[in-house]
């Protein structure tokens, strides 16, 4: 059975004759005696093709044609008309008719026009499917290009970070040596001065301040070395879930004071990672410190831990102020900080530790939408 065709004409003779011709050629035929009846049928069951009379009472063919094309664009229409003027033909085609047949018509002419209209319909519908498929491919291609570009950008950032760490390591080692020599002398003379002023309480205050500032500078130097060069570590089986718990317990008072809600999502029974417990604690401590700094008046902190056969996947997310786009690639740089007080070495230390275990770390953030740090650590570090 070929396609179904709806014939709409107010003359029953035309309906009977046309139906007989089409059924003899294998078409399924339904009929309607008015434009409104035809539209009601299409509402229930759209068909590929409508043969529509131009001159009908109540709703004329032109009005019915326009409504069919507006409501059922996949339905093609061939018009019957007894008026053979060029003006009417142009008007019908502009309104959306696929073709028109002059009454009285020859059977073969009608069949040829029907076959041609149905062929064009099949081709155009197929072209629409192809265009939709091509559009889908284009979207998938754009998405893949965006994903690969993001991967390339992350890889480039990792290379830059590695180069910065290497350069920073050489620079900081030399700086620490050169600074500590005069610093030791300052500390020594300050201690001597402090002892010699034991009788004068007012003057003893000044060497005490000198010694305190020397100790602060020495602490900065230690942090500098920790951020650039891996110290001696003691590898042992470390429970990451326990380290998360310990870090949150350490900051429990500050979390409560700032009104921060904490959520943890820890996969059950995580394996132990061969690492230095102190270094692992530094990862969580530094990330939590940064998160709490960004939420002075409350917010949410979420820490998740997942793993597969090869890697741990750690996510630390806060609902704080977020990081401006121009700063995203600088957050791991030594001495970069937006805090009023801080050395800017915390995330550099985290980066050095993660890289030391053959892992990866990246950050995602938008201003006003919080920040998320993603860490991937191998279960069996190299």
Q: What is the pLDDT of residues 178-190, one digit of tens each?
A: 676 677 778 777 7
List Cα–Cα distances, 47 to 28, 38, 110, in angstroms: 10, 11, 18
**What is the SS3 assignment for 220?**
helix
- Strand, helix or coil for residue 181: helix
CA gap 284, 297 in Å, rounded: 21
Of residues 187 and 341, which shows the higher confidence score?
A: 187
Residue 91 has pLDDT above 90, yes or no: no
Question: Could you tell me if 201 and 297 lie in one domain?
Answer: no
CATH code of 293's domain: 3.30.565.10
| Residue 73 or residue 184, greater confidence | 73
Q: How confident is the model over 327-332, as a mean pLDDT?
A: 80
What pLDDT is attached to residue 40? 93
Domain membership of residue 52 as a residue range: 4-105
- In a domain? residue 150: no
- Of the candidates 314, 336, 327, the one whose C-alpha atom is nearest the C-alpha of residue 365 is 327
Angstrom distances, CA of residue 313 to CA of 21, 102, 152, 232, 316: 72, 74, 21, 25, 10
Q: Are residues 248 and 363 in the same domain?
A: yes
Q: Are strands 260-266 and 236-238 parallel, antiparallel or unpaired?
A: unpaired
In this structure, the answer to whether residues 260 and 302 fall within a common structural domain is yes
Percent of the chain whose pLDDT exceeds 90: 48
Q: Is 120 inside any structural domain?
A: no
> Does 349 lie in the same domain as 250?
yes
- Quick check: is 59 in a domain? yes
* 366 and 335 share one domain: yes
Q: How far apart are CA 22 and CA 169, in angstroms?
A: 88
- The more confidently predicted of residues 9 and 183 is 9
Domain boundary (185, 211, 228) is at 228
**Across residues 215-230, what is the average pLDDT?**
66
Q: 3-class DSSP state for residue 71?
A: helix
Q: Is the pLDDT of residue 374 over 90?
A: yes
Q: How confident is the model at residue 382 (pLDDT cuts 50, 70, 90)?
A: low
Identify the sign of the CA torsion 93, 94, 98, 104.
negative
pLDDT of 250-281, one tens digit each? Answer: 999 999 999 999 999 999 999 999 898 888 99
Locate 167 and state its tokens: 């350069």
Domain boundary among 228, 252, 274: 228
Q: What is the pLDDT of residue 366?
A: 85
Q: Are residues 245 and 373 in the same domain?
A: yes
- CA torsion sign for 225, 226, 227, 233 is positive
On whether both 196 and 305 belong to a single domain, the answer is: no
- Residue 152 placed within a domain: no
* Listed residues 167, 195, 228: the one ending a domain: 228
Q: Give pLDDT, residue 265.
A: 95
Residues 11-33 have a mean pLDDT of 92
Pick left, alpha or beta for residue 322 (phi over 0 → left; psi -120 to 50 → alpha; otherwise beta).
left
212, part of any domain? yes
Residues 89 and 48 in one domain: yes
Instruction: Give the range among 36-40, 71-75, 214-218, 230-234 with minimum mean pLDDT.
Output: 230-234
**pLDDT of 50 higher than 60:** yes
Domains contained in the chain, number: 3
Mean pLDDT of the chain, nearest integer: 85
Closest CA to 244 of 290, 285, 298, 301: 285
């Amino acid at each position: 059975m070929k396609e179904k065709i709806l014939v709409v004409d107010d003359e029953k003779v035309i309906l009977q004759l046309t139906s007989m011709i089409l059924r003899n050629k294998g078409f399924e035929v339904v009929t309607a005696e008015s434009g409104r009846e035809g539209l009601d049928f299409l509402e229930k069951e759209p068909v590929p093709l409508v043969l529509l009379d131009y001159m009908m009472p109540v709703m004329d063919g032109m009005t019915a044609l326009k409504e069919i094309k507006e409501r059922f664009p996949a339905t093609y229409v061939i018009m019957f008309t007894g008026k053979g003027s060029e003006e009417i033909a142009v008007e019908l085609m502009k309104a959306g008719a696929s073709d028109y047949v002059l009454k009285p018509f020859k059977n073969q002419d009608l069949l040829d026009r029907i076959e041609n209209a149905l062929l064009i319909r099949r081709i155009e519908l197929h072209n629409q499917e192809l265009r939709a498929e091509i559009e889908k491919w284009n979207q998938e291609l754009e998405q893949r290009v965006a994903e690969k570009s993001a991967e390339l950008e992350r890889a480039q950032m990792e290379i830059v970070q590695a180069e910065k760490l290497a350069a920073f390591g050489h620079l900081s080692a030399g700086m620490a040596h050169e600074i500590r020599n005069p610093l030791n002398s300052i500390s020594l003379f300050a201690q001597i001065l402090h002892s010699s002023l034991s009788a004068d309480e007012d003057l003893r205050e000044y060497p005490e301040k000198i010694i305190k500032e020397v100790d602060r500078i020495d602490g900065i130097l230690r942090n500098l070395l920790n951020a650039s060069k891996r110290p001696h570590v003691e590898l042992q089986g470390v429970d990451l879930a326990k380290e998360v718990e310990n870090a949150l317990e350490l900051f429990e008072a500050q979390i409560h004071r700032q009104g921060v809600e904490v959520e943890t999502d820890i996969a059950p029974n995580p394996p132990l990672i061969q690492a230095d417990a102190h270094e692992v604690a530094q990862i969580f401590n530094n990330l939590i410190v940064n998160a709490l700094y960004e939420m002075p008046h409350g917010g949410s902190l979420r820490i998740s831990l997942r793993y597969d056969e090869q890697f741990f996947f750690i996510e630390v997310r806060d609902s704080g102020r977020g990081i401006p786009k121009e700063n995203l690639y600088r957050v791991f740089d030594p001495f970069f900080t937006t805090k009023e007080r801080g050395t800017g070495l915390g995330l550099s230390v985290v980066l050095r530790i993660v890289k030391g275990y053959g892992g990866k770390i990246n950050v995602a953030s938008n201003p006003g939408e919080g920040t998320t740090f993603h860490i991937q650590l191998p279960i069996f570090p190299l």
